[in-house]
Chain A
Amino acid sequence: GNSVTQMEGPVTLSEEAFLTINCTYTATGYPSLFWYVQYPGEGLQLLLKATKADDKGSNKGFEATYRKETTSFHLEKGSVQVSDSAVYFCALSKGGGGNKLTFGTGTQLKVEL
């Protein structure tokens, strides 16, 4: 079946540091890939997505590239801020009539001054 594996957290960084959160997936066919973010006390929000191989999703300074050859969708940001502290979830969907999301376990990011 489909699955998503994320690096474990928490990840603690200083402000302005470079961020990478690794995500790999297992799926048949060609899934779409997503990063969701959950800020403290809030619901999940879509951060970015990519629907086909080599697509790059980007939003709020975050980027992730859909790498089919390595089945990966790593999240990166060049300079993190304290306000980026949250839990980040990688997810995939096969789309179609189901549109079901399969999530990773989440990676907590803490950014300190």
Chain B
Amino acid sequence: EAGVAQSPRYKIIEKRQSVAFWCNPISGHATLYWYQQILGQGPKLLIQFQNNGVVDDSQLPKDRFSAERLKGVDSTLKIQPAKLEDSAVYLCASSVGSAGGLDTQYFGPGTRLTVL
């Protein structure tokens, strides 16, 4: 079974530029998550989708971050404009999406973003 795929694996940009990350979840997984992991910290949830609807985006900096999950499969996370403090690893995860259940989340390898 293929795991969660993410691209690119690494990205270096200048501050104020824009960047986009892509995630392809495990086939059949209804729930998709984007986490931000700053060096030395644990991952922090940015946004959670159930199919193509947003379940939780309370910690997403909406003035510069956006995410979409068209057709309830792949997802993109965009940052525009980037700031130095956005340097982090961006993790995508997916789970089956059982209603009211406690699903195991499967993580992709992450995209390491460096903002100069």
* Contact status B105-A98, CB under 8 Å: no
Contact residues on A (Cβ < 8 Å of other chain), bracket: 20 to 34
The B contact surface, by secondary structure, is loop
Also in contact, A43 and B110, with CB within 8 A (given A32-B102, A101-B105): yes
- Quick one: CB contact mask for B100-116 with A, threshold 8 Å, 1 for yes? 11111111111000000
Q: How far is the CB of A105 from chain B (nearest CB, A)?
A: 5
Q: Is the CB of B102 within 8 A of A95?
A: yes
Name the interface size band of chain B: 20 to 34
Take A44-B43, A44-B91, A91-B42 as given contacts and tell me if A98 and B48 are in contact as well, using a CB distance cutoff of 8 Å.
Answer: yes
Given contacts A46-B104, A46-B105, contact A100 B48 (CB under 8 A): yes
Chain B residues proximal to chain A, CB less than 8 Å: 3-4, 31, 35, 40-45, 48, 50, 55-56, 91, 93, 95, 99-110
